[in-house]
Chains A and B, each alone.
Chain A
Amino acid sequence: DQQVKQNSPSLSVQEGRISILNCDYTNSMFDYFLWYKKYPAEGPTFLISISSIKDKNEDGRFTVFLNKSAKHLSLHIVPSQPGDSAVYFCAASASAAGNKLTFGGGTRVLVKP
């Protein structure tokens, strides 16, 4: 049973608009959450993260929101740019379990010019 789920396998958005990617988790031990971005033929690269003691973290065009009671987090990209077209993975870790990462299935984002 997947402990981290990204229910939208793909997302298409117009350049300049907002992209919203969603992620749900089931394990209440998770206390740190990360988003990774992956281009074809490359490894995933770290994008942004959030600790469970916060509900929002912002880095430039990227903002991650965490709703612990709903076990839900989201990534907002504003404004979306063509270079943001990639696959985005949500990941979670539990400090009590050695900080190993558990990944969601990914969401493919296409930003149209």
Chain B
Amino acid sequence: DADVTQTPRNRITKTGKRIMLECSQTKGHDRMYWYRQDPGLGLRLIYYSFDVKDINKGEISDGYSVSRQAQAKFSLSLESAIPNQTALYFCATSDSQGTSYNEQFFGPGTRLTVL
């Protein structure tokens, strides 16, 4: 079974719709992250959470919100989707207490298309 799962894997929605992307992990890691990937720009950090009560904005948080429902769950919401939010979205985890605390483990991604 995958350690980091994302649902849905693909989603097509319309401008103005609210959409939620979900991430779950079984790795027992305390830190979780949301990124978006656009061609040529690599992965850019949207939000991150170092524990359940800690939520922080990344470099491109406008238009997004997050919720850390439990240590294992971190969801990303687009309150009113717009076409330039069309991208590949990745969730990642890391362990602040591990020997490889810099290393992040990624989910398989969600391809989101906003029409």
Interface residues of A (CB under 8 A from B): 2, 4, 6, 9, 32, 34, 36, 41-46, 49, 89, 93, 98-106
CB distance from A81 to the nearest CB of B (A): 23
Segment of B11-19, B60-68, B70-78, B103-111 engaged in the interface with chain A: B103-111
Contacts A43-B92, A101-B102 known; 15 new A-B pairs at CB < 8 A: A2-B41, A6-B42, A41-B108, A42-B109, A44-B43, A46-B103, A99-B101, A100-B33, A101-B43, A101-B45, A101-B104, A103-B35, A104-B42, A106-B40, A106-B42
Q: Is the CB of B109 within 8 A of A105?
A: no
Q: Is the CB of B42 within 8 A of A98?
A: no
CB distance from A11 to the nearest CB of B (A): 15
Complex CA–CA separation, A103 to B58 (angstroms): 13
Across-interface contacts of A4 in B (CB, < 8 A): 42
Q: Is the CB of B106 within 8 A of A105?
A: no
CB distance from B18 to the nearest CB of A (A): 25
The contact of B107 among A36, A43, A106, by CB within 8 Å, is A43
CB distance from A57 to the nearest CB of B (A): 13
Q: Is the CB of B108 within 8 A of A43?
A: yes
Complex CA–CA separation, A97 to B86 (angstroms): 29
A105 and B102 in contact, given A43-B90, A100-B58 (Cβ under 8 angstroms) = no
Complex CA–CA separation, A44 to B91 (angstroms): 10
Instruction: Give the residue name and chain of the B residue nearest to A99 (CB).
Output: B102
Q: Is the CB of A9 within 8 A of B40?
A: yes
Across-interface contacts of A103 in B (CB, < 8 A): 35, 42-44
The contact of A100 among B45, B103, B106, B109, by CB within 8 Å, is B45
CB distance from B49 to the nearest CB of A (A): 11
